[in-house]
Each structure stands twice: as C-alpha cells, then as structure tokens.
Amino acid sequence: MSTVSFKFYYDLLSPPSRALITFFRVANIPVEPISIALRKGEHLTDKYHKEVSRFPKVPCINDGGFKLSESVAILRYLKKTRGYEDFWYPQDPKAQALVDEYLEWTHNNIRVSAGLYFITKWRTPILTGEEADEKQVKQLEAQLCNTLDIMENIWLKSNPYIAGEHLTIADVFAACDIE
C-alpha cells in the first residue's frame, strides 16, 4: 500500500464523505483531509470549481493534480492506485460484484429516502424557520421505513454483512448512510 497521501475534500454531513473518511482511517490509507462546509456554500465557489472539482459536491480527491469526485469512483481508483486489503473490496469478480451491487443500489434507495426525510423534517425548517409539512414527512418516513425493511429483509437476510460473510466497504457505506 502506498504511503503517499492525497487531498480528500469532504463534509461530514455527507454520508459518502463519512463512509470514505471512516474507511481511510480503518484501512490506514494516508490522506490530507480538507473539510468543505456545504452549509456555507464553499463547494459553489469559482475557486472550488477550478481547484477542487468540476462538480459542486463532496467527496472528491486531488491526487497529485488528478481530480476525481463520486465516492464509488474514488474507492475503485484508490484500489487500483494505492491498494488496500482485498476484504474491503474483493478481487474475486463475484464477491466484488456483490459489493458493487450494494454500492450502486444505495444511491437511489437508502441515500435518497434518508436524505429526503432529513431535508424535509429538519434541514428545511431550520433554514426557513417554517414548520415541516407533516403529511410529507409521514410519506417520506414510510418510504424510509420501506427501504430499511429491504435492507434488513433482503440485504441482511441470509448473511451478517451486506455482501456475505465478511465485512466490506459496502458495510461502511451502509452504516454511514443509515447513521
């Protein structure tokens, strides 16, 4: 594994940022963490666009001038360029496909339902000073509960971990998405 660090731009409000920073710490991957305050719009500046990422989002990395966003793309890139223990992201095509299946599934399921619930129930009322629309909150809560049921009754039905019998990066992402 490489001991050379890279810049990692993140905001702990972002579940993918939390997943990657947690992974970097437990896998002993050296990084130079740089906190970006999404709530202050730091990702929307011209400087951010020019120096950090062509997309106004986190997480992203800068590896010696190579800029990359999207948590799963970062994960795969680092596997090829830095290497880390195979159990996190298996080399075996079938085992890797199971991890990838979850990483692709979570974007439009856990992350969307949890994110919309959080935004509607807490963030928007805090920012606007207006109360949340309780009917909408109830609908989003039901959607989130359905998604969590899928997590429990499909993803974790037969195994202790998302992709089988062993901990993988999919479990770190799941924990941070649900947290």
The answer to whether residue 87 sits within a structural domain is no
Within-domain flag for 2: no
- Domain span at residue 113 reads 93-178
88: in domain: no
- The arithmetic mean of pLDDT across residues 50-71, rounded, is 96
Which H, E and C letters describe the chain, residue by residue? CCCCCCEEEECCCCHHHHHHHHHHHHCCCCCEEEECCHHHCHHHCHHHHHHCCCCCCCCEEEECCEEEECHHHHHHHHHHHCCCCCCCCCCCHHHHHHHHHHHHHHHCCHHHHHHHHHHHHHHHHHHHCCCCCHHHHHHHHHHHHHHHHHHHHHHCCCCCECCECCCCHHHHHHHHHHC
Question: What does the pLDDT look like over 72-131, one tens digit per residue?
Answer: 999 999 999 988 899 999 999 999 999 999 999 999 999 999 999 999 999 888 888 999
What distance in Å separates the CA atoms of residue 47 and residue 33, rounded to the nearest whole number? Answer: 18
- What is the count of structural domains for the chain? 2
pLDDT at position 127: 83
Q: Please tell me the pTM assigned to this model.
A: 0.89
Q: Which amino acid is at 19?
A: A
Residue 84 CA to residue 90 CA, distance in Å, equals 10
Angle at 18 (CA atoms; ends 102, 172), nearest 5 degrees: 40
Asked whether the predicted pLDDT for residue 4 surpasses 80, the reply is: no
The pLDDT value recorded for residue 2 is 59
**Confidence check: pLDDT of 3 > 80:** no
Q: Which of 22, 48, 81 is the last residue of a domain?
A: 81
Any domain includes 86: no
Specify the CATH number for the domain of residue 58: 3.40.30.10
Single residue among 41, 58, 81 that ends a domain in this structure: 81
Question: 1 pLDDT band (50/70/90 cuts)?
Answer: low
In a domain, 172, yes or no: yes
Does residue 136 fall inside a structural domain? yes
**Predicted confidence (pLDDT) per residue in 10-45, tens digit:** 999 999 999 999 999 999 999 999 999 998 999 999
CATH number of the domain encompassing residue 107: 1.20.1050.10
Task: Decide which of 17, 46, 81 is a domain's last residue.
Answer: 81
Mark whether 98 and 74 lie in a shared domain. no
The verdict on 68 and 103 lying in the same domain is no
128-174 pLDDT, tens digit each? 899 999 999 999 999 999 999 999 999 999 999 999 999 999 999 99
| Residue 105 and residue 167 in one domain | yes
My answer on whether 70 and 118 are in the same domain is no
